[in-house]
Structure 1
Amino acid sequence: MGKLTTHVLDTAHGRPGAGIRVELFSLDGDARRRLATVVTNSDGRCDAPLLEGSAFKTGEYELVFHAGDYFAAAGVALPAPRFIDRVVLRFGVADPKAHYHVPLLVSPWAYSTYRGS
């Protein structure tokens, strides 16, 4: 059974990104449809897959991580406007029977992602 999962690592502080709001959208051309909004747990993960089973389909998706709000709440001095605020990751799912894990490594100044397992 395929599924979509994510987690966030705060590379500035060397810890999980706990309490980060994450939004998931499906994309159809320029149209976006919100599928879920979650908040990461103390381990920087979601308590359940964002999508799984028959809800997980071939197509394009977008994850929006509210990293700027997380760093501001942690007391990090940020410029106005923030250099990293919302991190938007657009990706495609070609095999909805597979596990797509999309982690985010983030600091106030940089981020990276990859397809994990």
Structure 2
Amino acid sequence: MNSLSSHVLDTTCGKPARKIKITLSLPSGLEIESETDKDGRCKDWGDTVFVAGTYRLRFHCREYLESVHGESFYPFVDIYFDITENGGHYHVPLLISPYSFSSYRGS
């Protein structure tokens, strides 16, 4: 069974990014809304079954970056990734600052 989590870290502050809205797009086209918790983590996708296919996480980061840093070059960050059949747990972290971002497959 596949599962998905994410974590958003503000690299300028060196702290978790709280209350960032995340939209998960499934291969079927269905979209699910969630947001990061006080530790910048998100794993609440309801009763979603993660089948093989291409997914997108859209991190709506403008509001957070503007409130913390006064500016944001990116209104949102999209990360596309593939889930395979029986791929296990997928962790997609996002590292952000007002003018940069980075991601990788975590554990």
Q: TM over 0.5, yes or no?
A: yes
For residue 77 of structure 1, the aligned residue among 65, 70, 73 is: 70
For residues 68-97 of structure 1, give each alpha carbon's deviation from its aligned partner in whole angstroms, at most 9, with x where no partner exists. 1111222x222xxx4222000011111344
What is the CA-CA distance between 1:33 and the residue it aligns to?
Answer: 2.4
Q: Does 1:33 align with 2:30?
A: yes
Distance 1:101 1:25, change over 3 A: same
**RMSD (CA atoms):** 1.9
Unaligned runs of 5+ in 1: none
Instruction: Assess, with a 3 A threshold, how the Cα gap between structure 1 residues 85 and 105 changes in structure 2: closer, same or farther.
Output: same
After the TM superposition, which segments of 4 or more aligned residues of structure 1 sit over 2 Å from their partners? 48-52
Is 1:67 the counterpart of 2:24? The answer is no
User: For residue 66 of structure 2, what is the amino acid of its counterpart?
Assistant: A
**Structure with larger Rg:** 1
Q: Distance in 2 between matches of 1:58 and 1:72?
A: 36
> TM (normalized to structure 1)?
0.81
Rounded to whole Å, the distance in 2 between the matches of 1:55 and 1:27 is 11
- Normalised by the length of structure 2, the TM-score is 0.88
% identical equivalent positions: 37
> Which amino acid is the alignment partner of residue 18 of structure 1?
R
Q: Which blocks of at least 5 consecutive residues in structure 2 are unaligned?
A: none
What is the deviation of 1:51?
Answer: 6.8
Q: Distance in 1 between matches of 2:46 and 2:82?
A: 14
State the Cα distance separating 1:99 from its structure 2 match: 0.4
The SS at the match of 2:64 is helix
Paired residue for 2:17? 17
The question of whether the paired residues in 2 share the 8 Å contact of 1:67 and 1:85 is answered with: yes
Aligned length: 107
